[in-house]
């Protein structure tokens, strides 16, 4: 079992729709969770991070965390063609005094079509 | 812009050679992590430097080594390059000592091709 799993996609949604990206993780000790966006040939760009159960909203993006189910998701409202990219989910075990190792999923490719 | 800069952006090396990649961390950050991203994969953790010391390492052989300088910039060195080392190398800057509740920002990456 991979530590962080994502559906590779592509997830295809029409412009203006809600895109829902999902991620599961295996380590119950994981403390913080990150979503990065990566355009082809570019480096990952941080969208949001979350560490408490529930929802966290930032503009068109909402991250949802359910630690009991070991599940984190990202919703993108009013999807735009410019949102077409690979979305990487990452988790951090968050050992106090330890190191900030991010474990990434392989990413979900999102395609928003006009 | 994240304020994290990497150099060079692209590099071509021959198998068996050695390479040094460089990273300048974001102002106020004391931790630099290095990741390797193969095509179609998520980034894989190589190691991390916190206050000039390596304090975490992923599943990479000893020919991957690094340094962090007093200004928190960092180098990644890879010896005896192999074809499978061809990848995008990413540097991430963060504030350490927070138990993981911190954001990590990536530089633009170095695309290494080994031929």
pLDDT of chain B, 115 residues: tens digit per residue: 678 999 999 999 999 999 999 999 988 888 899 999 999 999 999 999 988 888 888 999 999 999 999 999 999 999 999 999 999 999 999 887 665 567 889 999 999 999 9
Instruction: Please judge whether B48 and A98 are an interchain contact, meaning their C-beta atoms are less than 8 angstroms apart.
Output: no
- What's the length of chain B? 115
Nearest residue to A53 (alpha-carbon basis) of A37, A64, A38: A64
pLDDT of B103 reads 84
End-to-end CA distance of chain A: 36
What lies within 8 Å, CB to CB, of B104 at 6+ separation is: A34, A46, A100, A102, B33, B92, B93, B94
Segment 65-94 of chain B within 8 Å of chain A by CB:
88, 90, 92, 94
Token pair of B57 as six digits: 């390492």
CA distances from B23 to B87, B90, B94 (A): 16, 9, 13
Segment 28-57 of chain A within 8 Å of chain B by CB:
31-32, 34, 36, 42-46, 49, 51
Instruction: Please judge whether A95 and B44 are an interchain contact, meaning their C-beta atoms are less than 8 angstroms apart.
Output: no
Segment 52-81 of chain A within 8 Å of chain B by CB:
none
Question: With contact defined as beta carbons under 8 Å apart, do A98 and B101 qualify?
Answer: no
Regions of chain A where pLDDT drops below 50: none
Q: Among A36, A43, A95, whose Cβ lies nearest the Cβ of B100?
A: A95
DSSP state of B73: -
A18 touching B (Cβ < 8 Å)? no
Distance CA B107, CA A43 (A): 7
Nearest residue to B36 (alpha-carbon basis) of B59, B69, B54: B59
Closest CA of chain A from B66, distance in Å: 16
């Amino acid at each position: 079992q991979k530590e962080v799993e994502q559906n590779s996609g592509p997830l295809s949604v029409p412009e203006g729709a809600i895109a829902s990206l999902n991620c599961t993780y295996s380590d119950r000790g994981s403390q913080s969770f990150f979503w990065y966006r990566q355009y082809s040939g570019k480096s990952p760009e941080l969208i949001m991070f979350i560490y408490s159960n529930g929802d966290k909203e930032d503009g068109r993006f909402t991250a949802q965390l359910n630690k009991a189910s070991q599940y984190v998701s990202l919703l993108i409202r009013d999807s735009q063609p410019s949102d077409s990219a690979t979305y990487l989910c990452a988790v951090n075990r968050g050992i106090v005094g330890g190191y900030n190792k991010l474990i990434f999923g392989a990413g979900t490719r999102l395609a928003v079509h006009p | 812009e994240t304020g994290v800069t990497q150099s060079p952006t692209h590099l071509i090396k021959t198998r068996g050679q050695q390479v040094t990649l460089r990273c300048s961390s974001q102002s106020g950050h004391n931790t630099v992590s290095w990741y390797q991203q193969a095509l179609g994969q998520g980034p894989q953790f190589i190691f991390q430097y916190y206050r000039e010391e390596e304090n975490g390492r992923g599943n990479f052989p000893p020919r991957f080594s690094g340094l962090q300088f007093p200004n928190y910039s960092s180098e990644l060195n890879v010896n005896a390059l192999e074809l499978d080392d061809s990848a995008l190398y990413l540097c991430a800057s963060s504030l350490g000592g927070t138990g993981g509740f911190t954001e990590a920002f990536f530089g633009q990456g170095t695309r290494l091709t080994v031929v």
